[in-house]
């Protein structure tokens, strides 16, 4: 019998758990005691002593090393135990049939050799009526341990037990696993007790009376500090608050068929009153064989503050157990093997069994109910998701997306849109497959029409998914733009809060909300001219505060050509030259010969003093286009007007606006040049119209948008 140390280290990975050595020592001590108790029901109560001595690392007292010692009153290292110790992949404990002893491969003790360069094992076991002391001293660079390395001598002791001492912590472990933290801060007696309480809670409670009135005593000593002592006893264990059992099932998202056997999962919840339990953090973990393996606390308590502090005056320990997890725990017991993040259809490399996604789908609602603070409201997050991203409650239901404690609006929106994106990708692939099949079909066959029908339904379904996400985003964006315009018109944007000496630029700000200044539609595609009218969004050309000589159609041709009637040439040229420096704030053109002219006036500016601007622009644009532009729609928009100067204008039945419709007549020769329709609007009317337009879509999408006015 030989234990190959170098081979075992090479084939067993270093655990990422900094407490793994302590956990293996205590776990083995519990197993040893259970073996003794099975042989002798009258055995004394279990007692384990953990001693940690911190010593200077070499001559430098700024660095620490430590010596760990674990003493138990178990069965000792008898012949059977010695064989198991010297066998890497042992099945010794599997065959004992003793309740509470976990199955193992004997890989745990390899962590001793990963972490420390020296091991001293001192044990007393009983052989018949004789007690025997058995000892081993291992020191690197020794390559292997054989039975001959142990010494065995009869003793006068009348009790059994084992002491394991580990010395010379390896620098690589200190740097890589303990992240060079101060060892005395990580492994003090009080910290060890708290870690053992969480780690062994489920196992110790499950063993019930089989350990008797046990005690696990912790001691730590430092060369420059006072010693610490602490203990964990049976009456220190809390009672379980609740136990829930759920079933995790995996379904193929394409066929909706179950792809693996359902797995039963037990969730044990412990609420620990902070008055009696001083724990460093909350703990939610996937377990294997009654011990935490994979910490998932951050899934439910998102911030470090929430994780490390009580929730509702209680620390929470939530332990998730399943035989499925037991079977898949890795050798290092710090993660699980062969559990995919999610099921992927037709993935030949996908392992057999359920995914983490299926596990979380089953346990999330239960755990969220256990650890969510009473003052948390899902409705608050839902409102923010709707306002900020246009994600409606119907979309959440459609994608089976839950809002959980700790969720940010961004995280919820990302989950919803990812699911829609995945649907669109899958459906697009199916559509392409159907298209290929259609091209191969015979038009006079029944199969052809079935494929056409299937394609139409698939395409319709995909449009629903695409449009739901896109339309929701569009409506929320437009609602935000309306809110910004409203604030700008009331001079309540942060940029408008200036001192009295600075030049105000209110008109420029309002202008830029509708369309960026000194740009045209060849430069800008993302604008908000729909605020005036939805149809204007789709005109052929839009220009904002640009000289008329610069305006071109999308094919590069200039809007205003020199091909005009010779008899009007002199008059049109004269009129054009006199007004060459004037240009409308926004001009929108259609190739059919219509123009929309928009003039903004800053808040407080009298609009009635600029009524003639619209008429003048109409003449100017008509002249410069050689008479090709004939229909002129003009908007004069502001917030101040003297109604006594609005002769010839008609008031709208609702709102504060006025309109006027006339022929555009050349004042010199009375020739009809075109037609005009002008409106004088208050900003509040434009805002009200825009709100009503997007309101229709909000109602259909069930988006409850409520943009609040900001403080000013």
Note whether residue 489 is domain-resident.
no
Residue, of 387 and 507, whose pLDDT is higher: 507
Determine the pLDDT at residue 564: 34
By the 8 A CB rule, do 303 and 406 touch? Answer: yes
Burial letters 686-712, b for 16+ CB under 10 A, else e: bbbbbbebbeeebeebebebeeeeeee
Note whether residue 23 is domain-resident.
yes
Task: Answer yes or no: do 535 and 683 share one domain.
Answer: yes
Range 647-654 average pLDDT: 87
For the stretch 603-649, pLDDT in tens is: 888 998 888 888 888 887 887 777 788 899 899 988 899 988 888 89
By the 8 A CB rule, do 211 and 38 touch? Answer: no
Residue, of 639 and 419, whose pLDDT is higher: 639
What is the band of 284 on the pLDDT scale with cuts at 50, 70, 90? very high
- Residue 562 in this model has a pLDDT that exceeds 50: no
Residue 88 DSSP label? S
By the 8 A CB rule, do 384 and 708 touch? Answer: no
- Residue 710 in this model has a pLDDT that exceeds 70: no
Task: Answer yes or no: do 179 and 97 share one domain.
Answer: yes
What is the band of 301 on the pLDDT scale with cuts at 50, 70, 90? confident
Residue, of 186 and 707, whose pLDDT is higher: 186
- Alpha carbons 492 and 707: distance in angstroms, whole number: 14
Note whether residue 336 is domain-resident.
yes
User: What is the overall mean pLDDT for the chain?
Assistant: 83
Task: Answer yes or no: do 254 and 218 share one domain.
Answer: no
Q: Which domain holds residue 284?
A: 242-354
Q: Is residue 648 classed exposed, middle or buried when 0-12, 13-18 and 19+ CB atoms within 10 A define those classes?
A: exposed
Residue, of 304 and 459, whose pLDDT is higher: 304
What is the band of 460 on the pLDDT scale with cuts at 50, 70, 90? low
Task: Answer yes or no: do 246 and 229 share one domain.
Answer: no
Task: Answer yes or no: do 187 and 169 share one domain.
Answer: yes
Report CA Rg, the chain. Answer: 40
Determine the pLDDT at residue 160: 97
Task: Answer yes or no: do 218 and 256 share one domain.
Answer: no
- Residue 344 in this model has a pLDDT that exceeds 90: no
What is the band of 565 on the pLDDT scale with cuts at 50, 70, 90? very low
**Which CA distances in Å does 17 have to 6, 68, 87?**
21, 16, 24
Note whether residue 9 is domain-resident.
yes
Determine the pLDDT at residue 409: 86
- Alpha carbons 674 and 629: distance in angstroms, whole number: 8
Cis peptide before 141 (omega within 30 of 0): yes
For the stretch 286-296, pLDDT in tens is: 999 888 999 99
Give the bridge partners for 659, in sequence order.
650, 679
Range 437-458 average pLDDT: 63
Of 425-434, 475-484, 601-610, the one with minimum mean pLDDT is 425-434
Q: What is the DSSP string of 648-685?
A: T-EE-SSSS-EEEEEEEE-TTT--EEEEEEEEEEEHHH
Note whether residue 493 is domain-resident.
no
Burial letters 652-667, b for 16+ CB under 10 A, else e: eeeebbbebeeebebe
- Residue 259 in this model has a pLDDT that exceeds 60: yes
- Residue 316 in this model has a pLDDT that exceeds 50: yes
Of 233, 262, 287, the one marking the end of a domain is 233
Note whether residue 643 is domain-resident.
yes
Determine the pLDDT at residue 597: 87
Number of domains the chain is built from: 3
* CATH number (domain holding residue 196): 3.30.565.10
Percent of the chain residues topping a pLDDT of 70: 81
Determine the pLDDT at residue 546: 67
Determine the pLDDT at residue 213: 95
Of 233, 250, 279, the one marking the end of a domain is 233
Determine the pLDDT at residue 51: 98
Task: Answer yes or no: do 565 and 635 share one domain.
Answer: yes
Of 40-49, 56-65, 193-202, 660-669, the one with minimum mean pLDDT is 56-65
Task: Answer yes or no: do 526 and 640 share one domain.
Answer: yes
Of 354, 379, 408, the one marking the end of a domain is 354
Determine the pLDDT at residue 623: 78
Determine the pLDDT at residue 30: 95
Task: Answer yes or no: do 643 and 553 share one domain.
Answer: yes
Note whether residue 414 is domain-resident.
no
Determine the pLDDT at residue 467: 60
Task: Answer yes or no: do 71 and 17 share one domain.
Answer: yes
- Residue 389 in this model has a pLDDT that exceeds 80: no
pTM for this prediction? 0.60
Task: Answer yes or no: do 15 and 158 share one domain.
Answer: yes
For the stretch 698-709, pLDDT in tens is: 666 555 555 445
Task: Answer yes or no: do 215 and 273 share one domain.
Answer: no
Note whether residue 13 is domain-resident.
yes
Give the bridge partners for 284, in sequence order.
318
For the stretch 75-114, pLDDT in tens is: 999 999 999 899 877 767 777 778 777 655 557 889 999 9
What is the band of 563 on the pLDDT scale with cuts at 50, 70, 90? very low
């Amino acid at each position: 019998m030989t234990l190959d140390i170098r081979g075992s280290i090479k084939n067993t990975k270093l655990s990422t758990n900094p407490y793994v050595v302590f956990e293996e020592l205590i776990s083995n001590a519990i197993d040893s005691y259970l073996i003794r108790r099975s042989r002798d029901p009258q055995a004394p109560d279990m007692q384990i002593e953990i001693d940690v001595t911190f010593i200077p690392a070499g001559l430098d007292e700024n660095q620490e090393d430590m010596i760990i010692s674990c003493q138990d009153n178990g069965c000792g290292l008898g012949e059977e135990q010695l064989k198991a110790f010297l066998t890497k992949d042992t099945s010794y404990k599997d065959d004992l049939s003793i309740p509470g002893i976990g199955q193992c491969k004997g890989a745990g003790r390899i962590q001793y050799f990963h972490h420390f360069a020296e091991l001293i094992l001192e044990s007393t076991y009983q052989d018949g009526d004789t007690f025997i002391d058995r000892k081993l001293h291992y020191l690197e660079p020794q390559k292997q341990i054989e039975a001959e390395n142990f010494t065995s001598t009869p003793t006068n002791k009348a009790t059994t037990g084992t002491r394991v001492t580990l010395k010379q912590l390896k620098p690589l472990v200190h740097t890589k696993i303990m992240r060079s933290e101060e060892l005395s801060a990580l492994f003090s007696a009080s910290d060890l007790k708290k870690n053992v309480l969480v780690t062994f809670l489920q196992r110790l409670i499950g063993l019930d009376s089989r350990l008797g009135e046990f005690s696990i005593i912790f001691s730590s000593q430092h060369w420059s500090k006072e010693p610490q002592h602490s203990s964990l006893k049976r009456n220190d264990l809390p009672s379980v608050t609740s136990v829930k059992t759920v079933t995790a099932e995996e379904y193929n998202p394409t066929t909706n068929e179950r792809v693996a056997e359902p797995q039963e999962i037990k969730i044990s919840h412990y609420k620990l009153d902070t008055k009696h339990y001083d724990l460093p953090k909350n703990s939610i973990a996937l377990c294997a064989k009654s011990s935490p393996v994979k910490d998932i606390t951050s899934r439910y308590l998102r911030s470090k503050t929430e994780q490390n502090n009580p929730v509702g005056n209680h620390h929470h320990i939530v332990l998730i157990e399943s035989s499925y997890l037991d079977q898949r725990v890795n050798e290092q017991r710090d993660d699980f093997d062969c559990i995919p993040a999610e099921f992927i259809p037709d993935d030949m490399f996908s392992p057999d069994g359920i995914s983490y996604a299926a596990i979380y789908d089953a346990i999330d609602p239960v755990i969220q109910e256990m650890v969510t603070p009473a003052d948390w409201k899902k409705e608050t997050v839902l409102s923010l998701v709707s306002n900020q991203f246009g994600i409606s409650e119907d979309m959440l239901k459609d994608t089976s997306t839950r809002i959980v404690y700790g969720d940010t609006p961004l995280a919820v929106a990302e989950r919803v849109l990812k699911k829609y994106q995945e649907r669109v990708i899958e459906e697009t692939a199916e559509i392409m497959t159907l298209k290929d099949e259609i091209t191969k079909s015979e038009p006079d066959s029944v199969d052809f029409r079935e494929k056409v029908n299937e394609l139409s339904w698939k395409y319709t379904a995909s449009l629903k998914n695409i449009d739901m996400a896109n339309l929701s985003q569009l409506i929320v964006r437009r609602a935000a733009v309306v809110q910004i315009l409203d604030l700008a018109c009331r001079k309540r944007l942060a940029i408008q809060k200036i001192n009295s000496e600075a030049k105000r630029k209110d008109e420029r700000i309002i202008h830029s909300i509708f369309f960026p200044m000194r740009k045209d539609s060849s430069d800008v595609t993302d604008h908000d001219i729909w605020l005036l009218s939805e149809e204007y969004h789709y005109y052929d050309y839009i220009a904002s505060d640009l000289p008329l000589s610069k305006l071109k159609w999308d094919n590069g041709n200039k809007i205003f050509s020199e091909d005009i009637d010779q008899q009007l040439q002199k008059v049109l040229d004269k009129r054009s030259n006199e007004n060459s420096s004037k240009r409308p704030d926004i001009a929108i053109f259609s190739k059919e010969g219509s123009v929309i002219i928009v003039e903004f006036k800053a808040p407080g500016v009298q609009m009635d003093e600029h009524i003639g601007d619209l008429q003048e622009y109409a003449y100017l644009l008509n002249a410069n286009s050689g008479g090709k532009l004939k229909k002129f729609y003009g908007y004069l928009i502001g917030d101040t007007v003297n109604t006594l100067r609005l002769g010839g204008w008609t008031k709208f039945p609702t709102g504060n606006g006025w309109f006027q419709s006339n022929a555009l007549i050349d004042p010199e020769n009375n020739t009809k040049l075109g037609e005009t329709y002008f409106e004088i609007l208050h900003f509040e009317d434009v805002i009200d119209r825009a709100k009503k337009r997007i309101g229709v879509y909000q109602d259909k999408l069930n988006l409850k948008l409520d943009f609040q006015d900001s403080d000013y």
